[in-house]
Chains A and B, each alone.
Chain A
Amino acid sequence: MRRLFSHPSLAIGLIATLSFLAIGVLSLVWTPFPIEQINIPRRFLGITPEHWLGTDNLGRDMASLVMSGTWTSFLVAAIAVIIGMGVGVPLGLAAAAWGGPVEWLVLRLSDFIFAFPAIIVAILITALVGPGASNAIVAIGIFNIPVFARVARGGALSVATLDFVAAGRLAGLGNAMIAWRHLLPNIMSLLIVQGTIQMSLGILSEAGLSYIGLGTQPPATSLGLMLKDAQGLFLIHPWLTLVPGMAIVLIVIALNIAGDGLRDALDPRLRQENPNVLA
């Protein structure tokens, strides 16, 4: 706990991120108004005591939409990170532990996937099975795989040369056990930091995919979809664009600050440069 507060950026980033997450989770059980409730006479209200962020072009409560959209963003980005970690980390560890042809194969596979940005993968998936939030998850998840594979391999390679790994090998552990027992726990901090960064990239990608119509579909909502709906109205009702836009910016900043803070707090090399720790 004390370590947390010795890194103010970590504290700020985490608190902001967790607040947004809490707002998102809250939308599952409660929003000020149901998001699918359309009330045309009450559209474009602006800020009122009843509607904290005003109402949109269909008279829906903007605050409720932002809450629900925040949840969609977190959900999509988090599942995409889990997909990326679940596939990418074992691949990266295998590359580091076995080396040789396995390593070559993993690296070439990563290069290959890297060549496709999330948006191209999303277009491909949409062409095959149609648009939807689940397809955005898969597209962003695939994009995350090589990122985690590379981070895991890089981290594991530097750990693999250490004496305790050699000791484990002498004790008769196979490559798989070495990777699981010795390499993985030692690269965990790297993965957590990368996971935070990928979360913020995932939220941006989800907003981008929804904005071009490949992600979340109405009547469900997401921050990108809100931007898309408000785009044609920008010159008359800029507020409708400003609200989801600001929400995206704030969430991404919060995640990035948290990611930076986590790296400072967890990276042993940086920690040694920190006079507080030395003292």
Chain B
Amino acid sequence: MNTITKAIGLALALSTALAGVAMAQSTEVRIGVALEPPTLDPTAGAAEAIDIVVYQNIFEGLTRIDEAGAVQPGLAESWTISDDGLTYTFKLHDGVTFHDGSTFDAEDVKFSFDRILAEDSVNAHKEFYEPISSVTVVDPLTVEMKLDRQIGRFLFDLGRGDAVIVAPESADNNANQPIGTGPFAFLQWDKGSRVILEAYQPYWGEPVHLTKATYVFISDTATLTNALLAGDIDGTNNFGQEALGVFEGNPQFTILAGTTEGETILGTNNRKAPFDNLKVRQAMAHALDRQAIIDGATYGYGTPIGSAFAPHNAYYVDLTGTYPHDVAKAKALLAEAGYPDGFSATLKLPPLAYASLSGQIIASQFAEVGIKLELINVEFAQWLEDVYTNKDFDLTIISHVEPFDIGNYANPDYYFGYDNPEFQALIETLNGTTDEAKRKELAIQAQTILADDAVNGYLFQLPQTGVWNAKLTGMWKDSPIEGLVLRDIRWAE
């Protein structure tokens, strides 16, 4: 009898404990992400993995980018722009504190921008902010920025992870102990495993729904699949498209198929023969069968692109028809260029699933027109050194994930080596233009030049396919900027 009572008691205690776990979960979330960030300081590194964890969660900027890619007020509640477009005056939010309790004011803004622009700055995108000539503290809640030339996307650039506001007391330790003004405070980083954030109660803005968020680092698709199925994690922002079928039709999961800013290209070394010949590049463009690449590498989730611009952007123009898939035309162009029997080249591939799949498919497509590709798979650090830094490559495949990165084509020293003075002048005009209609016209011109010149092979816009527990809401479907914003995520009742 006694044993039975004990057993019942134990069972009751157990079920209460289990119910407790289930209830506690309603304000906590565990998210699987592919890559562990090298540091947690978004102002000191270019890795997307940093922004995934900290952007708009721990750190905030003067402005913030919303799910649609539009600029919203951030730490600055309002701003005015002078008529010549060179002076920006920001009114800051009152009552904002950093996670260590110190107060946020105009001095912190000045400190953050002086730090970005300093000689020894390690900011990955100093060039966005380089036109700032001075940052002046007018009063504790007002900051004035003077530019030495107009920048069309200045407010957007202020909303990037590179321009978040940090405090002078804590800035040096942000790599491992990040302290910002965001709705989530850093709690713990178990290196090689996870980062835990907890809600920051005195947060100045609208309160968030979650009390705790854990980022678990899992790079392998099969492991991620099992973790999702077993309930070890509640979702992931970008799941390998090849295995999405596991979750399709499963009512316990939601699949969010969206877009990113990533233009995936067949990077071509324009400095080097035979790729310095326009006819050869046109022949390669005709040899590409975009739809087969999209089906094979992204299982149909990618969107075709015809130039270096992401399709969801307002300035986008569809140029995918510039050089349609046409094997006979490609062969004819190769013959005109002096390569009637084709040629051999190397294709250096970074260790990313979309790159290695696209690479194998492109090698097969190029073989049809007589271009023999040798595939070289390299580690990411090696890829950065060989291709990006030393420009020692023929062809490569990579996705350019930053918003509005068409400006890279105006840099003749950039890795693909496109040197066109007309295009460079156009981008300079575009950067200095603030009128929307005029900007759009210039951006379309720029895209058309790149498509006509077939600078690179333009393949597809990198998709973002999130898999989440069906009870979670508020995740971003698209990724108009690098990040995984927790602000609106909540468990449905």
A interface with B by C-beta (< 8 Å)? 36-38, 40-41, 43, 57-59, 130-131, 213, 217-219, 231-236
Residues of A with C-beta under 8 A to B365: 38
Contact B357 A236 (CB under 8 A): no
As a 0/1 sequence over residues 323 to 362 of chain B, the CB contacts with chain A under 8 angstroms (1 = contact) are 0000000000000000000000000000100001101110
A233 adjacent to B356 (CB under 8 Å):
no
Closest 8 CB pairs between A and B? A232-B221, A38-B364, A40-B296, A236-B245, A40-B292, A40-B295, A235-B246, A232-B243
Say whether B363 faces chain A, with CB atoms less than 8 Å apart: yes
Give 1 or 0 for each of B394-427: 1 = CB within 8 Å of chain A CB. Answer: 0000000000000000000000000000000000
13 A–B contacts, CB within 8 A, in A order: A36-B364, A38-B360, A38-B361, A40-B295, A130-B382, A217-B375, A218-B356, A219-B375, A232-B240, A232-B243, A233-B242, A235-B243, A236-B246
Q: Which residue of B lies closest to A36 (CB)?
A: B364
Instruction: Report B-chain residues with C-beta under 8 Å of the C-beta of A40.
Output: 292, 295-296, 361
Interface centre among A36, A37, A232 (most CB of B within 10 A): A232
Shortest CB-to-CB span from B300 to chain A, Å, is 10
Question: Residues of A contacting B242 with CB < 8 Å?
Answer: 57, 232-233
B224-247 CB mask vs A (1 if < 8 Å, else 0) is 010000000000000010110110
- Provide the residues of chain B in CB contact with A233, threshold 8 Å: 242-243
Q: Is B72 an interface residue (CB 8 A)?
A: no
Q: Is the CB of B360 within 8 A of A219?
A: yes
Query: Given that A57-B242, A58-B357, A219-B375 are known contacts, is A232 also in contact with B222, CB under 8 Å in the complex?
Result: yes
User: Which residue of the partner chain A has the closest CB to B244?
Assistant: A236
Asked whether B448 is an interface residue with its Cβ less than 8 Å from the other chain, the reply is no
In the complex where A40-B296, A233-B243 touch, is A219 in contact with B361 (Cβ < 8 A)?
no
At the interface, is chain B mostly helix, strand, loop or mixed?
helix
Q: How far is the CA of A105 from the CA of B313 in the complex (A)?
A: 70
From DSSP, what is the main secondary structure of chain A's interface residues? loop
For B, the interface residue count at a CB cutoff of 8 angstroms equals 27
Contacts of A43 in B (CB 8 A): 296
Q: Are B361 and A217 in contact (CB under 8 A)?
A: no
In-complex Cβ contact of A218 among B243, B246, B292, B360 (8 A): B360
Contact B361 A236 (CB under 8 A): no
CA distance A57 to B357 in the complex (A): 10
Expressed in whole angstroms, the minimum distance between the Cβ of A58 and any Cβ of chain B is 6
Residue contact B296 to A218, C-beta cutoff 8 Å: no
Over the window 251-294 of chain B, the binary record of Cβ atoms lying under 8 Å from chain A Cβ atoms (1 yes, 0 no) is 00000000000000000000000000000000000000000100
CB of B55, distance to nearest CB on chain A (Å): 28
B444 within 8 A of A: no
Most central of B220, B245, B364 by chain A CB within 10 Å:
B364
The chain B residue sitting closest to A37, CB to CB, is B364
Q: Is B378 an interface residue (CB 8 A)?
A: yes
Provide the bound-state CA to CA distance between A41 and B359, in Å: 17
Closest-by-CB residue of A relative to B296 is A40
Query: Which residues of B lie under 8 Å from residue A232 when comparing CB positions?
Result: 220-222, 225, 240, 242-243
User: Are A131 and B377 interface neighbours, CB within 8 A?
Assistant: yes
Chain A's closest residue to B224 (CB) is A232
**B367 within 8 Å of A by Cβ?**
yes
Q: Report the separation of the CA atoms of residues A175 and B376 in the bound assembly, to the nearest whole angstrom.
A: 49
Cα–Cα, bound, A235→B221 (Å)? 11
Q: How distant is the Cα of A232 from the Cα of B225 in the complex, in angstroms?
A: 8
- How far in angstroms is the closest Cβ of chain A from B246? 5
Q: Is the CB of B296 within 8 A of A217?
A: no
How far, in angstroms, from A59 to B246 measured CA to CA in the complex?
20
B377 contacts A36, CB within 8 Å? no
Q: Which residues of A contact B351 (CB under 8 A)?
A: 213
A235 touches B225 (CB 8 A): yes
Closest B residue, CB atoms, query A235: B246
Q: Which residues of A contact B377 (CB under 8 A)?
A: 131, 217-218
